Amino acid sequence: MGFWGVAVPESVKALAERYGFEYWREKGRMKLFPEEFWIDACRARLPGALIPREYGGLGMNLAELCEIVIYLAGKGFSTGLYPLLTNAMSSLVFMDWGTSRQREVFLPRIAVGDVVVGLSVTEKGSGSDVFSIETEARMAGGRYVINGAKMFANNVERASHLLLLARTTPVERVSKRSLGLTLFIVSTKSSGLTYRILEKMGTDYISTYELFLENVEVSQEDVVGNVDEGWKALVRALNADRIVYAALAIGTAQFSIEQASKYASTRKVFGKPIGANQGIQFPLAESYAETSAGYLLCMDAARDFDSGGRADVKACMAKYFATKAALKAVDNALQVLGGYGYLRDWDVERVFRDIMMLKVGPITQELALAYIAEKGLNLPRSY
């Protein structure tokens, strides 16, 4: 199925062979970080896919990374790919905005997974409305002191660092709400940083936390980009993030359709394979067509991004459309599997729960549409 994955390196195909459905099913069931996969992926320098070779990475572009994500998600890796994606997205921030010291210190380590980065923006009082964040960083004795709390910080127990957005100038004193925010590199071992686990619906290979920051100190050298311009430092990586999550959706849709098609060919009801009924074929065929369209949208956005173009609207379109296609595909697949779709054995149930996350992250479906309406159609900003 599909016309994708052709250009994926052999090392990635070998990874897919080594970590089959059972591996991900077990990690999810036990709520365990996929340690073995992560070590192997780091050996192949996949967290450094986008990092130039002179910094120890693979020097790939976003389109190439998307192909890899689609391929692995197509093999049932689902949101187990999360740590790879976060390291890759963080590397973009360092490449674009890091000082030469930050680039030299962080990029080679991100590439091999010695540094694992989490992105921490969201707060209880500010999810979609990012600019209303209240975590603040104040200068005291030549260092920044950070106080506040963050929601949905992933993988904190395994991460070494967070890229954390905090307000450095009160919103009343800036000309635009996007200003006055600064991006910091915060060690997860910092004194004053504590966290509480959040129980969630899926993506059980990665733990998610609420973070509390009480007088967490960071040096001025740990600012990425310019003080008060942290949003600017994040935006390009956030566009890439939307595109790469579109790729995750496409791969997961492909996985579900393949599982369901295989099942439909062998499962006999009323004396014939259920796949011989158009009522079974059509939803799968429809999802296949929509997933293929999502693939084209995703790769088009990635290519725009790679050529330095304005990928923002296409990134939102790709994320929105691919997510919608994937949600429908996993739902259709579950239905074709009948009662067995509801069981753990066929993995559709697992990816069904995982992929629900894409309804709200990395941008909600509604905010993606609001952005497309504003920037793509010049309609008044609605948010």
Least distance from ligand FAD to the Cβ atom of residue 251, Å:
18
Cβ-Cβ contacts under 8 Å for 379 (sequence gap 6 or more)? 373
Which residue's CB is nearer to ligand FAD, number 224 or number 370?
Answer: 370
Other Cβ atoms less than 10 A from the Cβ of 343: the count is: 12
Which residues 6+ apart lie within 8 Å of 332 measured at CB? 256, 257, 260, 283, 284, 286, 287
Nearer to ligand FAD, 128 or 219 (CB): 128
Structure tokens at 2: 């599909």
Q: How far is CA 111 from the centre of its chain?
A: 17
Q: Which is nearer to ligand FAD, 56 or 127 (CB)?
A: 127
Nearer of residues 180 and 275 to ligand FAD, judged by Cβ:
180
The nearer residue to ligand FAD, 120 or 239, going by C-beta atoms, is 120
Task: Please name the residue that has the structure tokens 């600017």.
Answer: 232
CB of 197 to ligand FAD, least distance (A): 12
Distance in Å, CB of 326 to ligand FAD, minimum: 15
Output the smallest distance, CB 116 to ligand FAD, in A. Answer: 13
d(CA 381, CA 383): 6
Longest dimension (CA), the chain: 79
What does the binding site for ligand FAD look like in residue numbers (CB under 6 A)?
119-122, 127-128, 152, 154, 200, 203, 208, 357, 360-362, 364, 366-367, 370, 382-383
Q: How far is the CB of 162 from ligand FAD (least distance, A)?
A: 9
Identity of the residue, 183 or 280, whose beta carbon is nearer to ligand FAD in the bound complex: 183
CB of residue 366 to ligand FAD, shortest distance in Å? 3
Give me the least distance between CB of 3 and ligand FAD, in Å please: 30
- Which one, 87 or 287, has the nearer CB to ligand FAD? 87
Phi and psi (nearest 5°) for 73? -65, -30
Comparison of 154 and 287: residue with beta carbon closer to ligand FAD: 154
Q: Cβ 171 to ligand FAD, closest distance in Å?
A: 17
Q: Which is nearer to ligand FAD, 26 or 129 (CB)?
A: 129
Shortest Å distance, C-beta 76 to ligand FAD: 19
Q: How far is the CB of 189 from ligand FAD (least distance, A)?
A: 19
**What residues form DSSP beta bridges with 68?**
none
Comparing CB distances to ligand FAD, the nearer of 200 and 375 is 200
